Amino acid sequence: MNSKQTESESTQIQPEESIHGFKQAVTRQVTQRSFLQTVSAVLCAFFGVRKAKNHEEDIQNLNPIHVIIIGVLAAFCFVVTLLVIVHAVVPTN
């Protein structure tokens, strides 16, 4: 009887391991997709062209840490771009 229990336990462990590995692969894909969605959402917010339906989905699905990081980076890039344009247009003495 003990060998039957061990056999059934081993058959139960193997599917869990394969499912766990599958969950990790899916989680990586979702995380990457979520990060790209965050970039899109932040850039649309900078231009003010986000639909209300997409905004509601973003609130539920996006990682707030990603939003903050991308928002700060986008603002920094925007300021640097403005500085470069100003220095290119305004002559220096």
Q: Where are the beta strands (DSSP E) in 1-93?
A: none
Residues 67, 37 contacting (CB under 8 angstroms): no
Burial of 85 from C-beta contacts in 10 A (0-12 / 13-18 / 19+): exposed
Burial of 42 from C-beta contacts in 10 A (0-12 / 13-18 / 19+): buried
What is the pLDDT averaged over residues 86-91? 92
Ranked by mean pLDDT, which of 3-12, 49-58, 66-75 comes out on top?
Answer: 66-75
- What is the overall mean pLDDT for the chain? 74
Query: Rounded CA gap, 84 and 90, in Å?
Result: 10
What is the pLDDT averaged over residues 37-54? 84
Instruction: Quickly state the pLDDT bin for 55 (edges 50, 70, 90).
Output: confident
Q: State the amino acid at position 42 in one-letter form.
A: V
Q: How many CA within 13 A on the CB side of residue 48?
A: 0
